[in-house]
Amino acid sequence: MNTTKFLFLHKQITGWQRWLSKCLLLLASLFIISMQPAFAGLNNDLYDGNIFVVYAGNGSLVPPRQTLAQALAEHKPIFLAFYLDDSSDSKRYAISISRVQEFYGRVAEIMPISVDAIPLKQTYDPTEAGYYYSGAVPQVVVFNKSGEVVLNKKGQVPFEEIDDEFRKIFDLVPRTETAQLKRRAFNEFSSELAK
């Protein structure tokens, strides 16, 4: 008799488990079907993560090593770049900011500033990044050693224009040939980083 009860209970549990497993399988299938694919895209305004890691292969740019006030107090030349991680224009410009660091990162303070990180205030001091932000991304501001703004432009400012300002600041000879910067394919980033 006990054996019969046990077999009867076992069949009930098995039927209940079977029904539950079918429901879970159906829910999992619906979940998988309804998921949107995650694509990192250079030409969309979706958040893909740190744009300097994803699109420039250079995660060392953020956060900046110093604040603007510290760099101004040390009389360093400064390259301030305003960006947004979810802006296609900023994504395309990330490689140019990385290129500026490549050439001038040891002698100037390279400071990419996320616009989202600027605190909202009525007024800013000239030692705060928000003082120089004009409402567009990307925006580039270059300071000389005296803390004077020598370049303040919105949009895709060519590397050569920034380079010209730094050449004046550091008293370097003018560039005789201008090599146009070209965006490398993503695979070239990957293979270069793997070295």
pLDDT, tens digit, 9 for 90 and up, residues 167-188? 999 988 877 655 554 444 454 5
Indicate the pLDDT class of residue 133, thresholds 50, 70 and 90. Answer: very high
The whole-number pLDDT of residue 78 equals 96
> Where exactly are the structural domains of the chain?
51-176+186-190
φ and ψ of 151, to 5 deg: -150, 130
Residue 128 has pLDDT above 90, yes or no: yes
CATH of domain 51-176+186-190: 3.40.30.10
For every residue of 52-108, DSSP letters joined together read: HHHTTS-GGGSS-SS-HHHHHHTT--EEEEEE-TT-HHHHHHHHHHHHHHHHHTTTS
The whole-number pLDDT of residue 68 equals 94
Indicate the pLDDT class of residue 39, thresholds 50, 70 and 90. Answer: low
Indicate the pLDDT class of residue 14, thresholds 50, 70 and 90. Answer: low
Under the phi-then-psi rule, with left for phi > 0, alpha for psi from -120 to 50, and beta for the rest, what region is 183? beta
The whole-number pLDDT of residue 59 equals 83
Tokens representing 135 are 């409402």
Q: Which residue has the higher pLDDT, 131 or 21?
A: 131
